[in-house]
Structures are given as structure tokens and as C-alpha cells.
Structure 1
Amino acid sequence: MSSKAISTEMDELAASSFLRASLRKEVRLFALVAPLLVFLSLIFVIPIGWMLLRSIEDPEVSAALPNTANLIQRWDGAGLPSEEVIAALVIDIKHAATDRTLGQAGMRLNYAIPGFQSLLMKTAEKLPESQPGGAPVALSEIDQRWTENRYWLAIRDAAYKYSLFYFNSAFGFSNQGPADDGQGFYLDVLFRTLWMTLVVTTACVVLGYPLAYFLATISPAWRNILILFVLLPFWTSLLVRTVAWFVLLQKHGVVNDVGIYLGLWSKPLDLIYNRFSVYVAMTHVMLPFMVLPLYSVMLKIPKTYMNAAATLGAHPFRAFKEVYLPLSFPGLGAGILLVFIVSLGFYITPALLGGPADQMLSYYIAQNASNLGNLGLAAALSVLLLAIVAVVIFVFGRLGLIANRREA
């Protein structure tokens, strides 16, 4: 065997050995992160995937009234459906009442038109064994609502296993003609949630930026002491902090008593169960989320930069605007993003300190999921919040507010 062939064989063996070693290394690394991947899948990926699916799932009517659902999909929506469709509904109601699935279909149709569930139950109870005059006559004799077009439209819209019904409800859209009272309710709540989140984020920026700058520029001894006060809210639960503000702001609480004692006002002010108390408590809770990212970035900005700008003749305000502020953008962007995203999902604080007009979207998500049992609408509202968060992160990424801009 020639020396060239031996050299080639040795190279192949070395390459094969290197590949095996690399593969073993990758397997070991994957084994290390596998528990984390499983954990994230169980608590993050799977729940979000289920929520996305549940927001478009609409199986109740097609499962309880299969024949009607299949036939009514071909109806053009004008007038009343054909006698074949109405006869299929009669048959399906009888079977669903026996299988005890009629209640689920009625609950789903009740979301579209209040009272639809009781109509189905009434019809199931009073349906005769035979209909000499035909199914349309039998239904109309039981209840005249069966002669109204909108009830049949509601069945047709719910006849598909997947639909955008819950998103339409969230946005205030209706397939039943002009929107009824309250159809745009959740859209109003969404705008209110965004506005309250923006106000709290702005307040955290106004209060947090000077505080972070102060912490980053004082002596290390004082800095270590004062940073403990910034971290102090993390040592108590959100519920405890909210209840503390409840005690402070109530009509005969500490703030009102001190104000009256000092003569600042003569009678107790309404400081609770309104938007003001919600803003104060949310800002208190979220302020550390703004200060800490800013502080970590500001601490790494060399003081010589500002001195150099002053040496070159820049006014302190101009030096701050053109030198210090751009260098602090990564911390400012991270702080704004954290405060905005967390504030968007606030539930406990507005529920305890706010009035009916101060509740955020998360309150109604919880109400629909737990109290009303409307998981589809709760999932659709959750998807709206998820979409807003995704858009905000995308915009921040495009603007470079969460990237390192120190080289600028």
C-alpha cells in the first residue's frame, strides 16, 4: 500500500473520530438542556398552543347538531332555510336531548343571541313525536322565534368546527346585522388597557430614569445601601403591596388622615376605587423593573464621556442629550419593554383598587374563563394581548431600542 493511500485512510479515520466526538458532545449538551426544554414545553409552548387553538375552535353546534350543521352551511342566509334543514334540526334536537349534548350547543348559541339556550331546551321538551304540518310549522307553534332569520343565521355561523366567532365578539363585530348594545365592549376595554399601560410606563420612565442615574453616579457605599430600597418591593408579594396601598389610600387611611391633620384638605378625598389609585399602585410595583435595567447600563457608561463633551464646549444638557442618553438606550428600551409587557396583564391591582371603569383586559379574561365558562372568548382575548406584545417587541427590535447601541 502506497504512502498516499495510507495517509488518505488515516485522514478518513481522523475525520470519522472527530465526527463521533462531536456527536457525543452534542448529545451530552442536549441531555443537559432537555429538562429545560421539557419544562418550557409544559408550561409555555403547550398552553399557548392550546390557547391559540381554543380561540378558533367552535365544535359545540356541529357536534350536537351534525345533520343541521352539514346542511345549513349551503344556505345563502336569506329568509328561512329550506324545509330539509328545518327537519334536520328537529331530528338533531331529539338526538341531542337524549345524548345530553344539547346544553353545550345551546350555551354556544347563547353567546351569539341571549336566550337561545332556553329556546333549544323549550323546543326539545315540546317537540311532538310527529309533525303532520311539517317541521317548520311544528317549530313555529312551539316558539315564534323560529320564524326569525337571525336565529338560523346564528346556527349557520356556529356550524363550522373552526371559526373566528370569538375574535368577532372581542372586536365587536357581528354577523347578525347592526351591532347590539355592548358588542364593542371588549374593544373599549382593550383601548383602556393600552392607555393605562402607557400611562404607567411613562410614569416609570419619568421617575425611574433620574433614580437610576442617581444610583449609578453616587459613591459605591451609598449605592449598595440605596439599591436595597429599590429591591425591597421584590421581597413582598404583589398582593401584599396592593393591600398596603388599599390601607394607605382609603377614606380614613394614612394619606387622608395626614392630609387633614396638616390642613392640606378639610375632608377625606376619594383616593381609592378610581383610576388614580390604580396608577399609583401599578407605578409602585413596576418602578423597579424600570430602574434595574437602566441602572445596569448606566453603571457601565464611563464618566469620562461627559467630561470629554464638556471639555469640547458642550452644554451639560447637550452633552446629556447627545452622549449619555443614546448610551443609555439599551437599558431604557429594556425597562420600557418590561414595564409595558408586565403592566399589560395586570389583574389584582385594578381589581382591588379600581372601580368598574378601571378594570383591564386580564380581569375579563379571568371572568370569562372561570365565572362564565366562556373559554373561547377568554382565549381570543388572551391572543389579542399576545399579539400586542409580539408587535411591541418587533417594533422595539426594529428601532434598535433593545439592542446594544454603544458603538453609536
Structure 2
Amino acid sequence: MRILITGLGAISALGADAEALSDALEAGRSGVVAHPGSAEHGLAPCAVAPVTQPLAVGLSPAQRNLHDRHSLLALEACAQAWAQAGLPESASEPDRAAVAWGTGLGGSTSMEASYQQMFTARPPRIHPYTVVRVMANSAASHLSMKYQLRSAQLAVSNACASSAQAIGEALWLLRTGRADLALVGGSESLLHVGSLLCWQAMGVMAKLDAAAPAESCRPFDDARQGLVLGEGAAALVLETEAHALARGARPLAELAGYGHSTDAVHLSRPDAAGQERAMRMALQDAGLRPADIGYVNAHGTATDAGDAVEAASVAAVFGARGVPVSATKALHGHLIGAGGALELVATIQALRRGRLPANAHLRSSALLDQLDLIQGAPRAVAAEAALSNSFAFGGSNASLVVRL
């Protein structure tokens, strides 16, 4: 059974929709900016990739009160995808429509606000909706109510693989006949002091390039120093081929394959064998060979170990320099649980436009003997299939295959 993608939506540091995302990636325009840090809390200046657009402008104060920032981002991306798919205001057959949503830390912004009240206000005034803002299925629940998606609600929180896994699990859900339509993706908002402090403490955040803050994240570059946190959301509408054709929908691409593996090795150190298993499973699920793939959107976090391990796993599957590769996190930041969805949208857009984004800020790389890293400018191709990787702390690996 073919599962078609009929709608895309995105909001990120690169703009308010999927077209703005692709335009920025093609132009090499970064959404990364300097964050001043906080001397009071011991937070050093750093680089971040924030969303600057206003959110949920159509919601009343009472409605907005129910949402954490990550679920507001979800509403924005989903409204775009739903509209592009040409669907009615809510699902016409609710019991045949599902939602699958990924997030790494869900309502962490609301959780931090509650801690600030607890430690600084006397008496503390904790927001009465903190629990429902913070829970991992908050965004999925809001989406199910807004669009009347009653067949199934999947809320996936699997670190950086969350939204990619949510998309893949929805693919299987549709194939098994549980639903005809699914709204899928992920959202994340972690650009608050508590989160930034945690990532700095772990030693995986890039140091701020004071001379060129926008270039602080350099995946696959010899001078890479770590990741830059971003925020945002991305959404896709998935439909069975029969459902899409029956209503006259215009397919944008096919979600053809999904592979998910677990390293079972280490909480934060990646494993090439686990990544290789996920990619090979995705290809097998899609019925494709490595030679059929014309582009890999790499996880590419710009950590020293992470990029080297991914280079080894990609080369193991596709051969040394066997497929064009780029990582887009240099420009939109690492969206943690939402990263897989945003990068899949970027991958689909690259195939549709016939222009593969380059690796921004790549100056020199010892990994060029393993990877055909796209350099300098977008590469014009007529590729029909691509693979997008999402590899997470905890050892979770998810790979998705799309084709035109």
C-alpha cells in the first residue's frame, strides 16, 4: 500500500513556512543568532536558532492559555500542512483519521516557568494549566481536538528521533488499515535558560563564534565544535493512495520506507552499526537499493564523534562517496524532537525543486573520503528518492525514505 504526502508545513528560524525553509537552505541563509547568556545563572553566551514570527494570533487569550510554546508551534505548522492538503476544516471521517506527534521535552518552557515561580515568588503562583501544558502528548491532544482525529493518537518522545519515529509509526499505522489519513510531525521549544544550561553542561553545544555567530554550527567541518539549539515545528499530512485519489488530492511525494533501530550501547555515544541497521531497514521497507537513493539528509549535529560515526555508517550503506550528503542543522539549528520532521520537509522540498542544499560553513573536512558532501552551492539533480536520518541520545535511530 502506497502512503502519499499531500501537505507540508514548517515554522523555524528560517521562516514561517516550508517554502521559506527551502529558500533559506538554498541561499545558505542562517537563522542562527547570538544569545547573550545569563551571568546570574552561569549561562555563557551561546548561539541559538529562534522562531521570531508571532504565534497563534487567531487564538483568544483563554484558548492560548492552554498551550505551551511547543504546542503553539505545532498549531502553526499543522495549519499549513492541512491547508495545502485541501482538507475540510476538520476530518470528514474522524474515526479514520489519526495524529502522530513527536517532541523531546514537550512543555519544558512551562515547566521552567513553574520552577521560576516556585523559587522566586512568595507565595508562588503556579499556572493552573501547567500539567496539561507540560505533558508529552499535549500537542498531539490539541491537534486531535482541532482536526477531530479520533482513530489514534501517538505521542512519541524519543529524544532527537521523536518526530521521525512518529512519522514512521504513522506510516505503518496507515498500512495496517487503522486509518486513511494521519497528521504527523513534531515540535520543540527549548530556548530557555534551564535547557541551555543543561546542554552547555553536557559539553555538546558549539561555542559562540563571536565574529560570525551565524556560522557557529559547522556539521562535518574539521573545526566543528558542537550543536546549536533551535526551535520550531514541522507537519505532514499522510494519506493512503486510495483516500488521496478518491478526494482528488495532489500528492507531493510518497513516504516509502521507515527503519528504526536501537544501539543498546551507550546513552549518548552513537553507534555506527545501529545507524546502519536503521538505514538498511528503511531501504528494505521501501523496496529500494542504496543505488536508488539520490540524496541523504544527514543527522549531522556538528559534534566531533557524532559526525564521524554517521560518516562511517552512511559509507557502509552507500559506499564511500556513494551518495550526495548534506546536513541542514547548520542553518536552522537542532530542533531535538522536531528535527526529524523539519529535515524530512526540507528533504521533500529538495527533491521537488531538484536542488540539494549544501553543507553550510564547510571549509575543510577529513570526512570527504567517506562522504560526498555537497559544498559551496546547492547541487542541481533529478533525484527521485532520498533518505533522512535522525539519531538520538539513548541510542534510537530512525531513517525515513521518500520518493517522488
TM-score between both structures, scaled by the size of structure 2:
0.22
Between structure 1 and structure 2, the one with the greater Rg is: 1
Please identify which structure carries the higher helix content. 1
Greater RCO (CA < 8 Å, at least 6 residues apart):
2
Please identify which structure carries the higher strand content. 2
